[in-house]
Chains A and B, each alone.
Chain A
């Protein structure tokens, strides 16, 4: 198990703001990792630094065993697809042609079939593409390049649900054929959740969770029902969020529930709904400060 991406103590300061604050993480080679977090959490900054487009203020970054900044040996084995990628004034076909020169594993057949799936015409000028079509172009380039490390930053902004499903399907199919390291940042967490083997959540420039996606299933549960029953059930458990509406309460508890607890909840007439990945991320800002943070990390390890 080797790390394709290894970051330690990475900090990026801008004039009046800390975009990344002492970030450390390891991303295994040959995995799909979701990079999740709110707007301004530092996802794009992290990806730009990994791609050598931005420089760290301090800390160390290694991709494929070496620092990526200005390191051609590393950079040419990477692909970075950005939501806001700027292109020169060229047509779609020209962009694909240029990309094919730089990536030895470029798969023209894959590019063509993806273009057909997204209904993207090579003769169209890039600056005339809609936002969704620009995203589609980034996806085509990102997948067809078949780079060892592929970074996607919000790759499907503006794409409709059908096109997004095409992206998920094609990504998984191509990944199965040629495993590589893929790091994907997204806001559409539940939609993409099935893709991820690992999840990294960052909040305000800090990594608040780094865990195998499987281990997060059932890590938190929403318990709802009559107030008294909920209180009784959650007594002694770690609670993130408590809502009350009349005689009904809804509480998020942390920690896996064993069979006995589930049976007890049933007998109390309570509803148990596991938190989805998206809901876990929504509660992310509570994690670092909360006493159960250590507990969660234990689960993730």
Chain B
């Protein structure tokens, strides 16, 4: 067994939070939403059209937004995979490089596995006409609304991205504690601000607008994947000198 697989396995040695907690909470929110949606009658077609986006996407237009919490979990996993688990990992004779790569391996594997389950649940949702109550729990307009393989890809890339982003936060916190984390966030805001200023000075907002309106879910997934790789490289550079 390679060290990377061992590290990934180390995170899953007690898979409670990675499996039971997330799916348990998702199942609970699902049931809560199902009951609520069962109580609320389906709105008139006119009301549905008022929710323009939804009807355009061809779903029932009754979104819960609850799926977002599943994605937030992955951000938290990322933070904890470094913040809570790194010291013992290093005590077990793993190098930071291997620890990082093994943890990223877990992020990607878990993201694609969970993404596949989400895709399957979405298929059931479609087949049952929104679980019989016209509920869009696993369908998200524009993002997770295409063919199954695209749903799988987009959700997996999104989950992996958040996990990896969380890992970077975990590393920054470990190396530079709270002040460093605040500076890290400030730096990201500064980069975004600088980009916005550059676009404004270059009178480029129309172009940016066109770019994003023209972007398909597949294109966005590609962008997120590139961003995930960039974050992965950033975290890798940061963990090299992390101490425990």
Contacts and interface: CB of A to CB of B under 8 A. Distances in A.
Interface residues of B, number: 26
B90 interface: yes
Contacts of A78: 93
Nearest to A102: B92
Contacts of B10: 98, 101-102
Contacts of A94: 13-14
A94 B92 CA distance: 13
A98 B98 contact: no
A175 interface: no
B93 A79 contact: yes
A48 B93 CA distance: 12
B93 A77 contact: yes
A170 interface: no
A53 interface: yes
Contacts of A97: 13
A85 B95 contact: no
Interface stretch (B1-9, B105-113, B184-192): B1-9
Given A98-B10, A102-B92, A72 B243 contact: no
Contacts of B13: 90, 94-95, 97-98
Contact of B243 (A53, A75, A82, A98): A53
A107 interface: no
B48 interface: no
Contacts of B84: 86, 88-89
Contacts of B90: 51-53
Contact of B93 (A82, A89, A95, A103): A103
Given A53-B244, A76-B94, 13 more contacts: A52-B95, A53-B91, A70-B240, A72-B93, A72-B94, A75-B95, A86-B87, A86-B88, A88-B84, A88-B85, A88-B88, A101-B1, A102-B6
24 contacts: A51-B90, A53-B243, A55-B241, A55-B243, A70-B95, A70-B97, A70-B240, A72-B98, A76-B3, A76-B93, A78-B93, A82-B91, A85-B87, A85-B88, A86-B88, A87-B87, A88-B88, A89-B14, A90-B13, A95-B13, A98-B88, A99-B92, A102-B6, A102-B92
